[in-house]
Amino acid sequence: MSMETTDTQHGISVVIPTYNRSTVVARAVASALAAACPPDEVIVVDDGSTDETRAVLRPFDAQIRYFYTQHSGAGCARNIGIDLAAQPLVPFLDSDDEWMPDKLYLQRKVMERFPRAVFSFATQGQRYPAARPHISCSTFGDMTAESVLLVRRGCRRN
């Protein structure tokens, strides 16, 4: 993970909300860090976990920003992640998912090509726990999983 990007308009802050997912969150973090187009930062927002989530993430301390908050739900955790993000592009990765290596590269290219786009989503950018690629049959893609979504940080209203 690079701490700075040379392209300030297309820097990436990955947000991983998690709650009691100690058995799978490390895999999600590792997949974000292993991206072909590495993110500028990875933010894990722990939504009040009571399991071993923090301990599982300690080996990543030099590579991630960890933030613990009281349990308020995944939506609140995502909003906290957006608020903490230092970069303008914010993709979400659910803590029980895993990205394909080129997902961030492809979405960054889309956002570069369409600078007025507020968000983009990928229909083949993640792996589910069975480690098989997710392929959507919908014309507009599968927006049911947040792990396919990338937003511009400034699009959120307070």
- Of 32-46, 69-83, 93-107, 130-144, minimum mean pLDDT range: 130-144
What integer pLDDT is reported at residue 12 of this predicted model? 96
- CA geometry: angle 110, 113, 119, nearest 5 deg: 45
Does residue 133 carry a pLDDT above 50? Answer: no
Tokens in use for 147? 């792990």
Mean pLDDT along residues 109-127: 79
146 — pLDDT class (breaks 50, 70, 90): low
Beta strand pairing call for 89-91 and 149-152? antiparallel
Mean pLDDT along residues 101-116: 90
Nearest CA to 93 out of 32, 140, 30, 46 is that of: 32
CA distance 13 to 88: 7
Mean pLDDT along residues 75-94: 95
What integer pLDDT is reported at residue 138 of this predicted model? 34
Single-letter code of the amino acid located at 67: F
Mean pLDDT along residues 66-85: 96
Does residue 24 carry a pLDDT above 80? Answer: yes
The answer to whether the pTM exceeds 0.85 is no
* Distance between first and last Cα of the chain: 29
Among 46-50, 130-134, 135-139, the range with the most confident prediction by mean pLDDT is 46-50
Beta strand pairing call for 149-152 and 119-121? antiparallel
Q: Which domains does the chain have, with CATH numbers?
A: 13-155 (3.90.550.10)
Read off the pLDDT of residues 45-75 as tens digits, 9 standing for 90 and up.
Answer: 999 999 999 999 999 999 999 999 999 999 9
